Amino acid sequence: MVVTEHGTRGTIGGGQLEYMAIDRARTMISKGETRAEMDVPLGPEIGQCCGGRVRLELSDVEATPPEPERPHVLIFGAGHVGRALARALSLLPVQPILIDQRADELAQAPNLATTNLATRLTPLPEAEIRTAPQGSAYVILTHDHALDFLLGVEALKRPDAPYIGMIGSMTKRAKFIRFARENGIDPGRLTCPIGAGPDRAKPCLDKRPEIIAALTAAELITRLTTPVSSSQKYP
């Protein structure tokens, strides 16, 4: 966590402990101190009940370190759900990229001047998967089932992808699984339907784009922030 005289960036978990750390860091700034330590019992005396102790090391920095690179999330399909998802993800610590073959749909994307959203118009969206940065996530919700299947297979060829999601029903999921296996691809890492929670057979009945986007954004950010083994299969 970085603390300056008038602001902060990052967190150590919030609560009274964080307020104490911020106050101590600003005391360091005002007194010109370069190093300090805090040993804090996590008990009723600071309004916390988790127990144990926390040791904090504080030191000055000559320059603020750069923001960590945000993982890319490639969203294929700039229709109603794609645009809603792009808007939802623009508020999270990821780099959403909205991709489509249709200029008129991309033109309706959220205001680029007020979000961190990027857009790409391309006749070959599958090529975007092949050249995406390591650790990118993929959400597939185009207007064309055949294109969805093509993109799904391409994404599954990326062993570094922490999340591969496809919009659709359980019937579409079953058809894609057959398609993937016929092409020699293990479909085990595919999440379909997206935003349905652990029980894919009973997805949310509210199909408004904003609801699907909110559920998918929560699912995706959970996957990105929860380490899993490379062999883990997803529902």
Residue-wise pLDDT for 157-211, tens only, equals: 999 999 999 999 999 999 999 999 999 999 999 999 998 876 666 767 788 999 9
Question: What is the H or E stretch that residue 139 is in?
Answer: strand 137-140
pLDDT of residue 230: 45
* Single-letter amino acid, residue 81: V
pLDDT of residue 119: 94
Q: Which residues contact 106 (CB under 8 A, 6 or more apart)?
A: 78, 98, 100, 119, 121
* Reported pTM: 0.74
pLDDT of residue 213: 96
Nearest to 147 by CA among 100, 113, 103, 83: 100
pLDDT of residue 64: 57
pLDDT of residue 206: 81
Nearest to 57 by CA among 91, 95, 89, 21: 21
Domains parsed from the chain with CATH numbers: 2-59 (no CATH), 72-224 (3.40.50.720)
Question: How far from the centroid of its chain's Cα atoms is residue 235's Cα?
Answer: 18
Can you read off the two tokens belonging to residue 207? 């199909």
pLDDT of residue 227: 62
Higher local confidence (pLDDT), 185 or 68 = 185
